[in-house]
């Protein structure tokens, strides 16, 4: 079904490689594990549309279900409507997928975005959206979560966001899944950083698909 070869990779036209693109996202050549890295292009999608289905959705899933240890959206639904996740940067590529996966998991989703993207993130299922440029954004999120928020994803992970997302976590502390490495500014808030290839190493007994082939 999937033909791999050393040198230029040939894939069936209805398949596309999603997970492992080698050391650079702009690499000209790909090595993919057929079991882990190739899925059919959804019906009616062009290759160009499908090409964005790799890094962003996998990173969103990894942050929710590996870093934050939430159930997979394909396995279980939260029954507690108070179970809330903050997705900081909901209009980013990772954020847009994280919102949808979190809603599929039955979570209440709070996010931040520019006002021009409020309708976009609401359309993806966001319950409440806040303008991250508003000086009172953290206070507003704390009020909307009764100072009890305990999980968040920081899809930006730079600038003021490490401080902002950590401060939005409630009094008892919690965990923030991050996409660029940084130290937690608050002892009661843990940060969980991983890279996309880490999920593949876990699924491949500690080796990346490329390493399996050499």
Residues that bind ligand NAP (CB under 6 A): 55-56, 59, 88-89, 91-94, 112-114, 117, 132, 155-156, 159, 161, 179-180, 195-196
Closest approach of Cβ 180 to ligand NAP, in Å? Answer: 6
Please answer whether residues 115 and 134 qualify as being in contact, where contact means their C-beta atoms are separated by less than 8 angstroms.
Answer: no
Closest approach of Cβ 67 to ligand NAP, in Å? Answer: 10
Where does 83-150 show beta strands of DSSP type E?
A: 84-88, 108-113, 128-131
Please answer whether residues 43 and 214 qualify as being in contact, where contact means their C-beta atoms are separated by less than 8 angstroms.
Answer: no
Give the sign of the dihedral formed by CA 3, CA 60, CA 89, CA 97: positive
Closest approach of Cβ 182 to ligand NAP, in Å? Answer: 12
Strands 128-131 and 108-113: parallel
Closest approach of Cβ 14 to ligand NAP, in Å? Answer: 25
In the complex with ligand NAP, the residue whose CB is nearer, 16 or 132, is 132
In the complex with ligand NAP, the residue whose CB is nearer, 4 or 118, is 118
Q: What does DSSP assign to residue 63?
A: I
Is residue 193 exposed (0-12), middle (13-18) or buried (19+ Cβ within 10 Å)? middle
Q: Which residue is nearest to ligand NAP (CB)?
A: 92
In the complex with ligand NAP, the residue whose CB is nearer, 4 or 51, is 51
Closest approach of Cβ 25 to ligand NAP, in Å? Answer: 9
In the complex with ligand NAP, the residue whose CB is nearer, 67 or 84, is 67
Six token digits for residue 191: 């940060």
Please answer whether residues 109 and 85 qualify as being in contact, where contact means their C-beta atoms are separated by less than 8 angstroms.
Answer: yes
Six token digits for residue 130: 């806040």
Give the sign of the dihedral formed by CA 95, CA 203, CA 24, CA 158: positive
In the complex with ligand NAP, the residue whose CB is nearer, 2 or 207, is 207
Closest approach of Cβ 103 to ligand NAP, in Å? Answer: 18
In the complex with ligand NAP, the residue whose CB is nearer, 20 or 88, is 88
């Amino acid at each position: 079904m999937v033909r791999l070869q050393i040198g230029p990779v040939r894939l069936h036209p209805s398949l596309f490689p999603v997970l492992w693109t080698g050391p650079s996202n702009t690499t000209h050549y790909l090595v993919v594990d057929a079991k882990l890295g190739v899925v059919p292009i959804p019906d009616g999608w062009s290759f160009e549309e499908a090409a964005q289905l790799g890094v962003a959705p996998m990173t969103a899933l990894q942050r929710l279900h590996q870093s934050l240890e939430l159930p997979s959206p394909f396995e279980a639904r939260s029954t507690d409507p108070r179970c809330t996740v903050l997705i900081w940067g909901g209009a980013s590529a990772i954020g847009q997928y994280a919102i949808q996966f979190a809603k599929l998991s039955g979570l209440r989703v709070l996010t931040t975005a520019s006002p021009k993207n409020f309708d976009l993130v609401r359309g993806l299922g966001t319950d409440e959206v806040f303008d991250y440029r508003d000086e009172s954004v953290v206070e507003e999120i704390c009020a909307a979560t009764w100072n009890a928020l305990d999980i968040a994803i920081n899809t930006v992970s730079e600038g003021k966001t490490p401080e902002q997302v950590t401060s939005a976590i409630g009094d008892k502390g919690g965990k923030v899944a991050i996409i660029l490495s940084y130290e937690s500014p608050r002892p009661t808030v843990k940060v969980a950083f991983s890279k996309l290839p880490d999920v593949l190493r876990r699924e491949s007994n500690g080796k990346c698909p490329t390493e399996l082939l050499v």
